[in-house]
Homo-oligomer: A and B are copies of this chain.
Amino acid sequence: MAERDSAAAAKHRLTAPWCFSCPLRTCADFEEFSEAELAFMANFKVEHGRAWAGEVIYQQGAARPRLFTLFSGWAARFRTLHSGERQLLAFVLPGDFVGLETVLAQSPHHSIEALTDITFCGFDPDRLNELMSRPDMAARVAWYQVLDQRHVERRMTAIGACDGRRAMADLMLDLYLRLGRRALLRGLSFSLPVTHQQLGDALGLTTVHVHRTLRGMRQEGILTLKDRRLIIHDLDRLREAACITNEESRARPLL
């Protein structure tokens, strides 16, 4: 129930080898790993990096490959159009694995930016083929990719087939469920370190409309977003307002 904080992150950085003791592994959301698999991942890991809020980890079109699992904090994956518009593709939460595209393609089609100060487990991009040579790990990567794709398709459906209110409700419910599976909730409330601008970029709305939508839901007694923290007052009504309610069943891999 307690939120992961910088103290936990600091503790983690002093423990070696990290992968074995990674506190994220204790979350029910993640698949079990065998000793051998853990040993492999520990060896695959090359850094425990950190970045500050606002920092761009890698950029759409840039060359340098980068492969990591977010350990603490929030990040965002987004695309920028030449005309200046920006579409936020996904919020990256602790436990999310990012950057496969940067290794397999010459250059990624999206950028990643830290929304808060973050720490992450960096892997060696040059050794990805070793990872993919192990059938067990290749299967995990494939499953992870399927989950990731599902998630993007869920968000796309919310944007394309629903109005702003429903899309907003769906995003909030989505975040609530994802954070819950990672034990990052405090009851019905969680830290949402995101500006209205960024929410708008995620939903295809303007900041003005994001505000009005949130105000509407607050007045209806569904939820409140205040001081970078979301409080859900009525989970049932939120579920009702969202366009998608069913969730994942199988655990996801933690790489």
Listed in ascending order, the chain A residues whose CB lies under 8 Å from chain B are 79, 81-83, 85-87, 89, 100-101, 104-106, 109-110, 129, 132-133, 135, 138-139, 141-143, 145-146, 148-150, 152-157, 159-162, 201, 203-204, 243-245, 249-250
Contacts and interface: CB of A to CB of B under 8 A. Distances in A.
Contacts of A89: 153, 156-157
Contacts of A83: 243
A140 to B, nearest CB: 10
Contacts of A141: 142
A139 B162 CA distance: 36
In the A-B complex, the 6 residue pairs with the closest CB atoms: A160-B204, A138-B138, A85-B161, A87-B157, A156-B156, A133-B135
Count identical subunits in the complex: 2
A155 to B, nearest CB: 7
A153 B249 contact: no
A246 to B, nearest CB: 8
Contacts of A106: 249-250
Given A146-B100, A149-B145, A152-B153, A159 B162 contact: no
Contacts of A153: 79, 89, 109-110, 152
Given A100-B146, A110-B153, 13 more contacts: A79-B153, A81-B162, A81-B244, A85-B243, A100-B142, A101-B150, A104-B142, A109-B154, A129-B135, A129-B139, A138-B138, A149-B152, A152-B156
